Amino acid sequence: MSSDPSRAEALVSKIQVFEPHKASLPPMGPYLREFWRRRRFAVELARFTDKAEHLDSPLGSVWLVLNPLLLAMIYFLLVTIIGGRGSAGSSRFDVLAHILVGLFTWYFAQNCMTFGGASVTAGGKLILNQAFPRALLPLSSLIGAFQKFIPTLPVYLIIYLIGGALDSKSKLPGLNWHLLWIPVMVALVAISGFGLALLFATMNVYFRDTSKLMTYGARMWLYLSPVLWMPDMIHGWHRILIWANPLGPILSITNTVWIKGENPSWTLWLGATGWAFGLLLIGGYFFVSRERDFAVRI
């Protein structure tokens, strides 16, 4: 941090030139520099938005954990009622543990999509009146979703350990070295989530009903993802459900690490990394190449 930020800033933004553009990227060097320099804005926006949301709800943050917990209970009941006893010999708690960790991970990505998707249209006034790298708005949604996700991890760990110990039929591995993969897994979900946020934020500017459609789309996507069912349940060409699904590989990795206690295969890692950076590149290109039009479209 320089001792005199205003002086440093004056040097950066001394002469600016505004010129016409095609539907292509602005010079990425200066863009990313400005993006990084103003990251504090994204952090504070996430914090303030959170504050505004919970002003009138003392249970606000509790709900963040409670909501997926209750949903997991509902899905668990559904799955066990419809599926009967499930596959032979498997413990019911293991199924619950799988659904729960899948839902927590899923909600992290879905929050990125929903909040990120609305971030640009919600920041209308700011976009009309201030010039700044617009990608900071979806970034702020990512930070917000991350802050909502983090408290669910210790909650899950407690349920996971206590339930695994109480249920004699449980085959959960408990604490094991593979759990050290968690930071990598979270990072991959975050990168995918940011890509999705950029993508849907842009779509929402052009088609205002995107966020409405997304509610249904996300629900369908959830059913097609290995959250309510185990990734091992499908075989042969049905496995395309996992590979063609941007969140399929990472959700399978989550299952492998937490439920099976094994090292995920390198193909899964490759799939998850590929989707994460693919989404980031596609979403980033889509967003940044069009963001100069946002002020007209809003």
Partner 1 sequence: MTLQYASKPEMPEGLAVRIEELSLRYKINVESKMTLKNAIMRAGRGEKRRVRTIEAVKNLSLDIPHGTVMGVVGANGAGKSTLMRAIAGILPPTEGRIIVNGKVSTLLALGVGFNGTLSGRDNIILGGLAAGLEREELEARFDDIASFADLPNGFIDMPMRTYSAGMYGRLAFSVAVNMTPDILLIDEALSTGDAAFKEKSFEKMRQLCLEARTIIIVSHALGTLNELCNKALWMHQGNALAFGNATKVTDQYLEFLNVGKVPSALEDF
Least Å from the CB of residue 94 to partner 1: 40
Which residues lie closer than 8 Å to 234 by C-beta, 6 or more apart?
241, 242
The least distance separating partner 1 from the CB of residue 225, rounded to whole angstroms, comes to: 23
**214/259 with CB nearer partner 1:** 214
The residue to which tokens 């590989």 are assigned: 249
The least CB distance from residue 179 to partner 1, in Å, is 36
Cβ atoms 106, 222 nearer than 8 A: yes
Q: What residues make contact with partner 1 under the rule CB under 8 A?
A: 5-6, 9-10, 13-22, 34, 37-38, 40-41, 44-45, 48-49, 51-52, 55, 123-132, 136, 206-210, 213, 292, 295-297
Of the pair 82, 296, the CB lying nearest partner 1 is at 296
Say if CB 297 and CB 206 are below 8 A apart.
Answer: yes
In angstroms, rounded to a whole number, what is the distance separating the alpha carbons of residues 9 and 115? Answer: 31
Tokens of 219: 């629900």
Closer to partner 1 by Cβ: residue 53 or 232:
53
Closer Cβ to partner 1, 171 or 292, answer by number: 292
* Shortest distance, position 115 Cβ to partner 1, whole Å: 14
Alpha carbons 230 and 98: distance in angstroms, whole number:
8
Residue 191 token pair:
């990168």
Using CA atoms, how far residue 156 sits from 66, 91, 163, 186, in Å, is 11, 18, 10, 14
Closest approach, Cβ 38 to partner 1, in A, equals: 6
Cα of 73 vs its chain's centroid, Å:
22
Comparing CB distances to partner 1, the nearer of 17 and 180 is 17
